């Protein structure tokens, strides 16, 4: 990637971050209120991003200007050698394999070690946890990691995410458990209400999510094609699915995160029905409204998302009222008096709206719950109340213990921490016999 391309990319990212800031401020201004804690955290994170982009943009502009000023002199005195492209060390269409160089550098190959060092320089390694101290994955691999990982982690991507701080295995978040109080003064010159705040903290352990693959040495050294894309894309997709599954339903034991649906203190809404329907008293639509009102009445702020399995949305889309009018109508047809709208035809991600809330489909919602191991769940929550911390993904290659088989072990791992219990009442989970595997 040339400096001009890097500059254009940074400007695009800065515009996106700036637009996101403007959207947050517009919502607060529309409702004539200050930013919520979640909005403030997102505002601060985006502001930090914008400042970082500004600094990098200024640095690149100065470099480009300096190179342009020096170009005439360079052309006059430099030998007749032209450089047509400034390419990354590791590219999808390149001749060098990242994992092959990891292996060969450990066996004294100076050229491989030099390519790895150049790759680190291209990626501007920082002191952020996971971004330094070892050879980092090549730039194009991290681009592919984002591409492959996002479809598998719908709910995780909806939660405010921060960089995981270095040097800790537990994150502690202060929490006010008892607030102050006010009351009318009984009479002049008499005492006023005085209630002290009580506090505690929330501990969120840092977990390791990792996977590996044994690769033959012949494949690394003799294959005419790089196998990086095949290996890393598969490992990254597995990482994304595992992280999202733990964010949704991790048990909080055995080195796993505590998920949104397994957290104690949340609202549990049971939908029991031998003949499930969307309409009618006590059926699914009413249970969803019940879950929303419980969050409103205890968190004093509304939820911001509904997350369900694709099979549940497909079933809801087939439901009709007593006059055979569908409950969910396509957005393009200008729906009128509908229970919900469908904005996209998708297998994962944003699909429509119900109760004025966006609906997201996530294939990692469990479908083996209940006595018959055939029930799914619907999650309704204020996801802005949770916090997900991730380090930067790492990839390594080792020959130790595999040398006798002419094999190399390639591994990918990352650290994560999930703070779910800041406001447990902002989460509601609908479950029960009414959510068995639907028939169509």
pLDDT tens, per residue, the chain with 440 residues: 577 778 778 888 888 888 888 888 888 887 778 888 878 888 888 888 888 888 888 887 777 776 666 555 444 444 443 444 456 777 766 777 877 787 788 777 888 888 887 776 655 544 444 444 445 556 555 555 444 444 588 999 999 999 999 889 999 988 888 889 999 999 999 999 999 999 888 899 999 999 988 888 887 777 666 666 677 778 888 899 999 999 999 999 999 999 999 999 999 999 999 999 998 888 999 999 999 999 999 999 999 999 999 999 999 999 988 888 888 888 766 666 678 888 888 899 999 999 999 999 999 999 999 999 999 999 999 999 999 999 988 888 787 777 788 888 888 899 999 999 889 999 999 999 999 999 88
CA-CA distance, 419 to 144, in Å (whole number)? 27
Both 14 and 156 in one domain: the answer is no
**CA dihedral of residues 290, 293, 295, 299 (deg, nearest 10):** -160
Question: By residue range, what is the domain housing residue 33?
Answer: 3-68
Q: How far is it, in rounded angstroms, from Cα 66 to Cα 272? A: 71
> Is 266 part of any domain?
yes
Do β-strands 407-419 and 394-398 pair in parallel, antiparallel, or remain unpaired?
antiparallel
Report how far residue 364's alpha carbon sits from residue 349's, in angstroms, rounded to the nearest whole number.
12
Is 407 contained in some domain?
yes
Domain presence at residue 231: yes
Is there a single domain that holds both residue 60 and residue 168?
A: no
In a domain, 106, yes or no: no
CATH of the domain at 367: 3.30.2400.10
Question: Are both 273 and 154 inside the same structural domain?
Answer: yes
What distance in Å separates the CA atoms of residue 137 and residue 119, rounded to the nearest whole number? 8
> How many domains in the chain?
2
Among the candidates 26, 48, 68, a domain finishes at 68
Domain annotation covers residue 86: no
Considering the domain architecture, whether residues 207 and 319 belong to the same structural domain is answered as yes
Tell whether 98 is covered by a domain.
no
Question: Within a domain: residue 189?
Answer: no
* Calpha distance 342→356 (Å, rounded): 12
Alpha carbon distance 433, 270 (integer Å):
8
Please say which residue of 19, 49, 68 terminates a domain. Answer: 68
Does this model's pTM top 0.95? no
Q: How far, in Å, CA of 396 to CA of 413, rounded?
A: 9
């Amino acid at each position: 990637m040339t400096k001009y391309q890097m500059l254009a990319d940074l400007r695009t990212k800065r515009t996106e971050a700036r637009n996101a800031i403007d959207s947050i401020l517009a919502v607060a201004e529309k409702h004539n209120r200050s930013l919520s804690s979640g909005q403030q955290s997102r505002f601060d994170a985006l502001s930090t991003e914008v400042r970082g982009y500004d600094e990098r943009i200024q640095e690149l502009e100065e470099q480009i200007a300096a190179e342009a000023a020096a170009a005439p002199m360079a052309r006059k005195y430099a030998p007749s050698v032209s450089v047509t492209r400034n390419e990354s060390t590791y590219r999808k269409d390149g001749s060098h394999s990242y994992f092959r160089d990891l292996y060969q550098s450990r066996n004294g190959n100076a050229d491989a070690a030099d390519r790895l060092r150049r790759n680190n320089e291209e990626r501007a390694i920082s002191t952020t946890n996971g971004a330094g101290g070892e050879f980092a994955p090549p730039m194009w691999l991290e681009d592919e990691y984002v591409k492959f990982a996002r479809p598998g982690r719908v709910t995780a991507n909806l939660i405010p995410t921060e960089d995981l701080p270095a040097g800790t295995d537990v994150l502690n978040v202060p929490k006010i458990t008892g607030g102050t109080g006010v009351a009318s003064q009984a009479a002049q010159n008499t005492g006023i209400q005085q209630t002290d705040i009580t506090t505690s903290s929330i501990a969120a352990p840092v977990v390791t999510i990792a996977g590996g693959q044994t690769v033959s040495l012949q494949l690394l050294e003799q294959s005419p094609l790089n196998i990086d894309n095949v290996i890393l894309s598969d490992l990254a997709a597995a990482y994304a699915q595992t992280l999202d599954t733990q964010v949704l339903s991790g048990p909080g034991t055995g080195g796993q995160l505590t998920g949104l649906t397994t957290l104690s203190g949340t609202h549990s809404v049971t939908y029991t029905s031998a003949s499930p329907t969307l309409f009618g008293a006590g059926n699914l639509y009413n249970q969803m409204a019940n879950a929303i009102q419980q969050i409103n009445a205890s968190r004093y702020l509304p939820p911001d998302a509904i997350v369900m399995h694709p099979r549940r949305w497909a079933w809801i889309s087939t439901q009709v009222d007593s006059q055979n009018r569908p409950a969910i109508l396509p957005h393009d047809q200008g729906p009128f008096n509908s229970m919900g709208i469908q904005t996209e035809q998708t297998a994962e991600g944003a699909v429509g709206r119900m109760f004025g809330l966006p609906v997201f489909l996530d294939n990692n919602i469990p479908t083996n719950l209940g006595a018959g191991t055939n029930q799914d769940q619907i999650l309704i929550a204020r996801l802005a109340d949770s916090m997900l911390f991730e380090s930067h993904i790492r990839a390594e290659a080792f020959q130790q213990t595999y040398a006798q088989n002419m094999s190399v072990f390639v591994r990918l791992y990352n650290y994560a921490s999930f703070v779910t219990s800041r406001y447990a009442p902002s989460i509601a989970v609908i479950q029960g016999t009414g959510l068995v595997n639907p028939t169509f």
